[in-house]
Structure 1
Amino acid sequence: MFGRKKQDSTKEKEVKVETDEKSIHESPQICLFDLDESVLEGFKDASYNCSEGTLGKMVRVPNDRRDQQHFLKLNYSLPVNLHEHDILVFNMDFYEEVDYESIQISLDNVTGHSAHALLSAFPEKIFNPRAYATRILSKEVNEILKKESIVIVFASSQETVRYQQVEINSYENRITNQTDINNTQFYKGFPYCYNKTGKKMKSPDKDIKLTSLLLKYSVGSNYELAFHHPTHWDNSNKQIKDNNFIPLLLNNDGEIISFYHAHSKGAVLVFPCIKDKRSFLLELFNNYLSEIFPNLFPYHGQFGWLDNGEYLLPGEAELIDERADIEKWYIAEVEANEKSIETVKENYSFLRDLISESGDKLVSAVEHYLKWLGFPNVLNLDETTPDLLEEDIQVDCEDRFLVVEIKGVGGTSTDKDCSQISKIRYRRAEQRNKFDVYGLYIVNHQRYMPPKTRNNPPFTENQINDAVLDKRGLLTTYDLYNAYFLIESGVILKDEVRDCLFEYGLVELKPKSLVSIGIPQEYFSSGTVAIIDLNGIRLTKGASLYVKKNDQYSKVEIISLRVNDQDFDEVETGEVGVKLSSSVKSKSEFFVKQV
């Protein structure tokens, strides 16, 4: 990044590497929308910090018959940190096409009860997403113009595109909105314009420095838009021309075809369809913008050569090398961390599958979980007997037998889903000639939503009551997911969770035999000291306390007990200060386990 040489065995190779490497200046940050790859390469060769974006490609839609229509999504893209950029360059003269299949709407990862798309219907054969993308991006452009910045537009013909927005749900496809969007809505205050095409360009009456550059590159170029000079009302209620708007080029009829527009703290430059955009932009940036906007071009403006690495100060080279080593170490550490994260995701993929998947993947995740819980004999019937449409998993504990039905659904379970396991349980009891068979229904409900935002628990009161009467259990995969961490933190034991799976009704995987000692009156030392009023419940130094906050449990140890500034090993009544092994949030409820 800073021109640091690569290590090699010979000086010749070292010199060659140093010569070949290009340092990229940190500022200005430039984003090029829909410009040729040659333009990007030219900017990088000139050490500019560039990224790419697109307003989208035109889409060939197979609307061949009157009854045909297709759902699409926008295909624009931009850097995630576009707000940090200093200069945006848009090329309206871009009409590359793609097939419909590349941007058709997908319902595979829909969350909630509906999806939204744009509609293309007969006789439309070419769908234009660019005007819609321009309107969306204009919000970002308006924000960027609030700081010192430059927005450049190579203007092409104006077009108004009609978009139909569709809501897709389980009942119907419904048009929710129809709107017309102009493809020139780059920022608030874009001047009124109209289509007019030509090749002859001339200078305005007032000599503008940028005009000479535009005329130089006007050969072989053309214009497709003409603009009105914006006006506003003055104090005497007269319309006057906006002084922040400066024409740069006129056509033979004296109409404005290029302009400079000061907007907030930024500036907008609109040019015709310059043919050689690469050479034009590089000359514009190197010889004009760097002088007009020196703050945006610290490395290319006046005396920018002082910081190009060729005229170093004493000790500067060593500091640059040190910074390069720091960056190299940082990159290596981040890569190692990312690999570790991927390893964790691979090793514990069953936990992610529990709260996201359905079908065979979900069944396999539950199977993995039950084996991790310590059940000795767990049989996945979907793998051993895939044609048998009964329970998904059997757990044989010798003294009792558990049959498990597992589903992943986009919504919540029906009564039939919940009760299906009862029939299987009776059938297995007859086969075993024993009444030691238990039924459990496990569901990954509302699987497209984040688990914390789902309806938890997802079962109705009638479903829970029926489960109690039928002697079967109801459980969510999110409960299993949470129980994993409770077990790992020592809040609950594996054998306690195993026993819970044989319960009737709504199965709750939480610590058993807990006695509440209430909510502390006060906290001190950032939540590591709690003031508790005891009423006959004994606390012992070194013992465990169970803490409940928002239905989530955690476990802490009692470090010390203090009453009236004296330390005690045991306290049973009265107000006591309890020092805890870790911080606890306010309004948490404390429990002790009853022996």
Structure 2
Amino acid sequence: MSETTLDRPEIVTFDVPYSAYGQLRNEGYNVQQASFGAPYEVPQSDGLLPVIPNSFLPENLIEQDILLVDLNPQDFRSSAEGGKVVSDAELDVWASCYRGFIDPRPRACDFAASQMNRVLEGGGALVIFAAPSLPQKQFIGRGRGYYPLESYQLREKSPYPRNCWSFSNISTTLEVKPSKGRDLIIKDSQRDSLQFLLERYAAKSQFECTIQPPPSLKGYWQILATNRFDECVGAMIHDEEHPGLILVLPQVGDKSGFLSELMKDVLLELKPKLFPESEKGRWLEHPEYEAIVISKLKREIEQVQREAENRIEKLWEQVDTERDKVQHHYDLLTETGDSLVTSVKKCLEELGFEQVVDVDENVDATESERREDLQILDEEPFLIAEVKGIAGIPRDEDALAVGKYLVPRLKQWKPKDVQGLSVINHQRNIPALDREFPFRDLVEDNARDQSIGLLSTWELFKLLRGFHMWGWDKKSLKPLFYRTGIIEGIPEHYAHVGTVERYMEKEGKRIVGIRIKAELNRTDRIAFALPTEFYEQDIQSLQIQNRDIETATADDIVGTITELTREQAKEGLRIFKVRGS
């Protein structure tokens, strides 16, 4: 944490994540927290309830220099906190309960608006992380009796003309429409520092709404970012004749880092008078005063930045090219039908199979009978494969569907031996790590009885990752596909040797404790079965109770050094000996 705190600028964060507030405070800024409040849950009904504020605002809000506002609600509270602000006989703000929540923020924004306007009129800055107001019908009126009130029971009822953007005269006039996405196109802001900052954080940002100014702001409105339809999702409202500065920005992923750089690189440049302690002597750094040697170094820095940007652009082009080459890997986890069949065929060929036949592409035009999807004819037993992509868990008949093609193929190819292979992309609409195990124990027994292998595309995907990451020999992968029952994506040269028992950090080293299932030597290489891939490493040492050993046997608990983190090396994680390494 910074040992000194700058008196100015004075900064207030409204509902900005605590981590971002803490970052600014650690860097020595004079910053305090505030909140317009949080939505709270109410029983869903057609009635009206009074709006109960849960905001907290600084007493000296009018004296602040920079206002940072995040309009994306962090959480919904389970109930209102406190009671009605005024008596039943007085005018109050009421909200409809038809959505099961009440958003008290418009009321707090309205209350703070006059003070925040004064901050802008005095040359302050307002930074808004934009999000649309929550859909909520609110009213002004007088009500008495039991709550919730029916609409007709609210006397002198009129719409409450405020929302979550009503904290300044200018923000109130903006037309904000809900629209969500991640494709941000950063525009030339004529402010290199602001443009570069937005470009650096664009990949981890998203927009929640589009923003349009009223005609009165057209001359002061500068678009900073748009979506792919050229609709504004970020803008700057600033003019030399008007003292205040407003930045309306999309939702930045890393607000801590972004706001730190915004202060040092952008606001210091745009509003130097807000940073009197930082501005002292800064004019000496302007080009007309800068030392020649430093000017040369700055030009070199600019050249390096341009070269880096060009290199990055080429790398992204390479990423796109390589992604196209391995698209069939991704399709294993999302596709169904012919697209999935084609992807499985390409992956099998990638793993070393040379005679993989797409039956639909080679079937006789006169043949109307339904056939299996793929045939793998490299060696006996020949494999016939049925490939399915489904939204849920496979039924037993889905998993064993290939069985109905086995007898016809055995007769046709006699005396050749034939086995079945069922390849299933289950729960294909959700991330693979969130999916359930696809096969029941009873299905596995039936599959073995019918000479059928059961393989999920997730296991096939992990095999491909390991093959490319560790350069596995194809000869250790092909035999997997000839197994019956459930096929796990573990290569033949892996032998289960133990599980993680504990994890510790000692003298700067990460140590994993392994409960041994089979013999393990100090010269062996091991692999940890992480959720998406295997991590291989050579054993650097083996110890039992701080004593070096050469060989561990079943039921020993041994320690060895690893590069894995505590989060990765969880208790129960399986460990394999890499044979032939």
Q: What is the TM-score when the length of structure 2 is the normalising length?
A: 0.51
| Residues 223-268 of structure 1: per-residue CA shift (max 9 Å, x gap) | xxxxx99xxxxxxxxxxxxxxxxxxxxxxxxxxx99xx995xx885
User: What's the Cα RMSD here?
Assistant: 5.4
- SS of the equivalent of 1:420 reads coil
* Residue equivalent to 1:556: 537
Counterpart AA for 2:482: F
Conserved 8 A contact 1:520-1:589: no
Corresponding residue for 1:472?
A: 452
Distance 1:482 1:209 in 2: 56
What secondary structure sits across from 2:489 in the alignment? coil
Partner of 1:556, secondary structure, is strand
Does 2:466 match 1:486? yes
Give the 3 Å change call, closer, same or farther, for CA 334–186 of structure 1 in structure 2. Answer: farther
From 452, 459, 480, give the equivalent of 2:439: 459
Higher gyration radius (CA): 1
Matches within 5 A, 1:88-127: none
How many angstroms apart in 1 are the aligned matches of 2:488 and 2:308? 45
**Structure 2 gap segments, 5+ residues each:** 1-19, 21-54, 56-61, 70-96, 113-117, 122-138, 141-160, 175-212, 223-236, 248-262
Matched, 1:426 2:407: yes
- Please point out which of 213, 218, 222 is paired with 1:278: 218
Quick one: which amino acid aligns to residue 286 of structure 1? Answer: E
- 1:377 and 2:295 equivalent? no
Query: Structure 1 residues 454, 525: closer, same or farther in 2, change over 3 A?
Result: farther
- Greater per-residue strand proportion: 1
Q: 1:368 is matched with which residue?
A: 346
Give secondary structure in 1 for the equivalent of 2:455. Answer: strand
1:504 equivalent among 477, 484, 492: 484
Structure 1 residue 396 displacement after superposition: 0.9
Instruction: Compute the displacement of 1:296 (Å).
Output: 5.3
Structure 1 residue 444: Cα displacement: 1.1
Q: Are the counterparts in 2 of residues 407 and 443 from structure 1 also a CA contact under 8 Å?
A: yes
Query: For 1:510, what is the secondary structure of its paired residue?
Result: coil
SS of alignment partner, residue 243 of structure 2: helix
User: Is 2:292 aligned against 1:338?
Assistant: no
1:148 corresponds in structure 2 to: 66
CA distance in 1, matches of 2:534, 2:120: 70
SS of residue paired to 1:402: strand
Q: Contact conserved, 1:377 with 1:395, CA < 8 A, in 2? A: yes
Question: Aligned match of 1:325 in 275, 281, 303?
Answer: 303
- The answer to whether residue 242 in structure 2 is matched with residue 288 in structure 1 is yes
* One-letter identity of the residue aligned with 1:418: A
Q: What residue identity is the alignment partner of 1:331?
A: E
Q: Distance in 1 between matches of 2:564 and 2:119?
A: 67
Find the aligned partners of 1:517 and 1:374 in 2 and give their Cα distance: 30
2: distance between equivalents of 1:208 and 1:370? Answer: 66
Structure 2: distance between partners of 1:279 and 1:393: 65
What amino acid maps onto 1:507 in structure 2? I
> Are 1:402 and 1:440, in contact at CA under 8 Å, matched by a contact in 2?
yes
Give the Cα separation in 2 of the matches to 1:334 and 1:209. 39
Question: Counterpart amino acid of 2:466?
Answer: L
Identity rate, percent: 18
SS class of match (2:482): coil
CA distance in 1, matches of 2:214, 2:561: 71
- Work out the CA distance in 1 between the residues paired with 2:335 and 2:563: 35
TM-superposed deviation, 1:353: 1.4
CA displacement at 1:403 relative to structure 2? 0.5
- Residue aligned with 1:441, SS: strand
CA–CA distance in structure 2, aligned partners of residues 271 and 487 of structure 1: 58
Q: 1:449 deviation in Å?
A: 0.8
Query: Residues of 1 paired with 2:554 and 2:378: CA distance?
Result: 44
**1:547, 1:181 → 2: CA distance?**
47
* Residue of structure 1 in register with 2:109 after alignment: 189
Alignment partners' CA distance in 2, 1:358 and 1:573: 44
Q: Matches of residues 294-309 of structure 1 in structure 2 within 5 Å?
A: 298-299=269-270
In structure 2, the partner of 1:356 is: 334
1:290-331 superposed Cα distances (whole Å, 9 cap, x missing partner): 599999574467699959956443245334323312321221
| Residues 433-469 of structure 1, C-alpha deviations (whole Å, 9 max, x = no match) | 23611111111111121111111x2123443333233
CA distance in 1, matches of 2:325, 2:428: 22
1:495 aligns with 2:496: no
Equivalence for 1:401:
382
Over 3 Å counting, the alpha-carbon distance change for 1:267 and 1:424 in structure 2 is same
